[in-house]
Chain A
Amino acid sequence: MSITLNVNGQDQTVNADPDTPLLYALRNDLELNGPKFGCGLGQCGACTVIVDGKPIFSCLTPIAVLEGKKIRTVEGLGTVEKPGPMQQAFIEEQAAQCGYCIPGMMMRAQALLEKNPAATETQIRTALEPNLCRCGTHMRILRAVKRAGELMQQAGTGGNA
């Protein structure tokens, strides 16, 4: 079956079964490898992307329910040459160790800060609770999200580069 997905602002056609998880469509069909496969059960958050402004687990969201919705991955936040504020902040704080969880962390944090760039540490911790990091870089991740919020407020933007 062929389904049209709007990813990072572009309509793209994917030929896949309707129960294909969005994560597989993104990685295998659209070659967007930012979102990662961690547990496949919605328990670790490595696959987190944004759909219509909300963070979701792409590993367990079938593409059949996503037609017409706006999907955003970490690739949509900026480029290597021109990183978005979230990416910039993660680079400045050197928040990645192995980096596997980071795209998911950034997307969940992005969804939070787009609603509230002045989120408190408690709000950030609560929002990021579904995302796990095995390396233990949580303190840097928290600082990076704080910094991203500041960058967004300075720029007065919703966060896309």
Chain B
Amino acid sequence: MLRRLLIVLVVVVILAGAAFFSLVYKPAIDAVPPGQAQTFDTALVAHGAELAAIGDCSSCHTTAGGKPFAGGLAVPTPFGTIYSSNITPDRATGIGQWSEAAFQRALREGVDRDGNFLYPAFPFDHFTHVSDDDINALYAYFMTRQAVNAPSPASVLQFPYSIRQAMAGWDLLFLKKGPLQPVADQSDEWNRGRYLAEGLGHCAACHTPRNQLGAEDSSQQFAGGSVIDGWYVYPLDKNSPAPTKWDVASLTSYLKHGFAQGHGAAAGPMAQVTANLAGVNDADVKAIATYVASQMGVDSTTPTPAPTTMAAGEPSPPLNSGDSLNLPMTVPTGADIGQTVFATACSSCHTAGRAQPFGGVDLRQSSAVNADSPQNVVNMVLYGLPASDGKVGPIMPSFAGALDQGQLVALLGYLRSGAGKSAWSDAATVVADTLSGKTAVKSYSADGIERVPGAGNARTTP
């Protein structure tokens, strides 16, 4: 009896061991032999470039001032700091030895060529949905980039996250491999948009809150609310703070140009996304907009009429040409500090009625002013929207140093009441933490280049 029990126990242990081994052991995939130049069709490479732009690969795989795709960007996470890898075709430090099979496994399963588990800061939980053809084009694109010899620093993670095999458990729990099945009652355009947004575009990687283990909480798809690179992430679901509802046309314009009339301009890490999407074909950008708009509750089949009123119920000023502006506000007698700051420092652009990008958005329409957190308004006032190189785009000057803490907090109060919203309870804390540097903010221009404050400039688009 005892003997039989022992045999069963041994068998169970062996089976469990084998299961565990098969789970955590991933074989290395043979290296592409050296000296064997791979050639790719130029049209395929160009297609891959668009896909890489949709994937926003450059944002994480390029550092400020660094070479395109050479990696090394520190990605802070609650579990430690992960450094992005070099994805140029350098054989020693990049992916030059990777066959397409190895590249595909990394995207689909989060395992590198050597068989090491990758951390989900690399969004393979999204890239797993990418089609064979698109992976083929991406591979062609990356294998034809300039090889850069640049070893990435080792990631610094707390135990047990420092053990890469532990990611096998994470993958088991959270990695839903395979293609997305089209939704039958949605249009082809919507399904295309979903494929791009949920796959390569990995919108949810920032716009969906994460759980204790760093996985997206799918019950809160697109609920936003976290802070990334010092910027508050807007919800893209029905709680979008935009007082003028987004529709497919305005979202397409925003994603393609980095700003939309009546909404505002992309700033922070989103400026990198829109800078990349500027080079993507209109049909794909519109498809993404169609899908995202539907998440906000917009019916993709009926266009939303242009709004004629603003949040506080007053009609919008008519948009003027560049040389006929509304006069700036005068400071009313008895104005409080917030109103004085707004009238003297903000209104000459923000109430001038000039169309974007040369005029400032009506701040009652601004998502930043209507959002649950004052962080993005604070960032915009302090760091502005730096000018892009050789490209027309929205700008805003930096008011860092010009306004003190009390004036900033008062301005936030004025903006909120102007938009018909209750005051932010955390305004003073957010202003203090941003001024002191406790909240580190990265500032980007409309062409996606990181500007001061930060470590200097980087052209993040290749």
Verify A54–B397 contact, CB threshold 8 A.
Answer: no
- Docked Cα-Cα span, A43 to B451, in Å, equals 13
> Shortest beta-carbon distance, A7 to chain B, in Å?
15
A65 at interface, CB cutoff 8 A: yes
Residue of A nearest to B329 (CB): A19
Known contacts A19-B328, A43-B387, A126-B456, A57 near B398 by CB under 8 Å: yes
Task: Determine whether the beta carbon of B402 is less than 8 Å from that of A18.
Answer: no
Chain A residues with Cβ below 8 Å from B456 are 122, 125-126, 129
When C-beta atoms are compared, the residue in chain A nearest to B328 turns out to be A19
Knowing that A42-B397, A61-B402 touch, tell me 12 more A-B residue pairs with CB under 8 angstroms: A19-B330, A42-B398, A43-B387, A56-B402, A57-B397, A57-B398, A64-B340, A65-B344, A126-B455, A126-B456, A129-B452, A130-B398
Within 8 A of A (CB), among B384-418: 384, 387, 395, 397-404, 407
Chain A binding surface SS class: mixed
The answer to the question of A55 belonging to the interface, with a C-beta cut-off of 8 Å to chain B, is yes
A-B contact pairs, 20 of them (CB 8 A): A18-B331, A19-B328, A19-B343, A42-B384, A42-B397, A43-B395, A43-B397, A51-B401, A52-B401, A54-B400, A55-B401, A56-B400, A57-B402, A61-B399, A62-B344, A65-B344, A122-B456, A126-B454, A126-B456, A129-B456
Q: Tell yes or no: A30 within 8 A of B by CB.
A: no
* A contact residues vs B (CB 8 Å cutoff): 18-19, 41-43, 51-52, 54-57, 60-62, 64-65, 69, 122, 125-127, 129-130
Contacting pair A65 B403 (CB below 8 A) = yes
Q: How distant is the Cα of A60 from the Cα of B360 in the complex, in angstroms?
A: 14
Interface residue tally for chain B (C-beta within 8 Å)? 27
CA distance A116 to B403 in the complex (A): 23
Q: Which of A51, A69, A129 contacts B451 (CB 8 A)?
A: A129
Provide the residues of chain A in CB contact with B457, threshold 8 Å: 129
Give chain A residues whose Cβ lies under 8 Å from the Cβ of B455: 126
Residue of B nearest to A40 (CB): B397
Known: A125-B456, A129-B456. A19 touches B402 (CB 8 A): no
Report chain A residues within 8 Å CB of B398.
42, 57, 130
Which of B328, B395, B399, B404 meets A41, CB within 8 Å?
B395
- Whether A60 touches B407, Cβ cut-off 8 Å, given contacts A18-B344, A65-B402, is no
A62 to B339 CA separation, bound complex (whole angstroms): 13
From 444 to 462 in chain B, residues with beta carbon under 8 angstroms from any chain A beta carbon are 451-452, 454-457
Residues of A within 8 A of B348 (CB): 19
Q: In the complex the two chains form, is B331's CB within 8 Å of A60's CB?
A: no
Question: Given A54-B400, A54-B401, A65-B403, A60 and B345 touching (CB < 8 A)?
Answer: yes
List residues of chain A with CB within 8 A of the CB of B387.
43
**CB of B228 within 8 A of chain A?**
no
B310 to chain A: closest CB distance in Å? 23
Contacting pair A130 B331 (CB below 8 A) = no
Q: CA of A134 to CA of B88 in the docked complex: distance in angstroms? A: 36
Q: Are the C-beta atoms of A126 and B452 separated by less than 8 Å?
A: yes
